[in-house]
Amino acid sequence: MSDLRYTKDHEWVRIEGDTVTVGITPYAQEQLGDVVYVELPEVGRKVEQGKEMAVVESVKAASEVYAPVSGEVLEVNTVLSDAPATVNEDAQGKGWFVKLKVTDSKQLDGLLDEAAYKALSDGH
């Protein structure tokens, strides 16, 4: 069974063993508006928790997507290259960005559960 967590930077993380799938939250995509471009990292790239991992551009702005945990990029969602609006249509489903192999599972403990994230995003 997968476990969904969140970051303060409005990324969601689906935990599946030592692999995580990452995307931006519905709140984040609503704030951005219509997504027109997504720049994803290369497969095999090592990412560091809290550092830029991808970029999402909308008609309003460009925004960095930060790595919620350190790890190695196993897979990227190539659908987003041709159909970036998938992020708007299904942010926590088909609009995922990357799958990472987690290098430090303790970092997962620092992610927010749904209640904590909802309290945070309601405050914005």
β-strand 62-66 against 52-58: which pairing, if any? Answer: antiparallel
Total count of domains within the chain: 1
Rounded CA-CA distance 50/53 in Å is 9
Q: How far apart are CA 23 and CA 14, in angstroms?
A: 9
| Domain, as residue range, for 25 | 3-122
**How does pLDDT run across 41-71, given as a tens digit for each residue?**
999 999 999 999 999 999 999 999 999 999 9
Using 50, 70 and 90 to split pLDDT, how confident is the model at 20? very high
The 8-class DSSP code of residue 110 comes to G
Q: What is the pTM of this model?
A: 0.93
Here the CATH number for the domain that contains residue 8 is: 2.40.50.100
pLDDT band of residue 5 (cuts 50, 70, 90) is very high
Q: Quick check: helix, strand or coil at residue 71?
A: strand
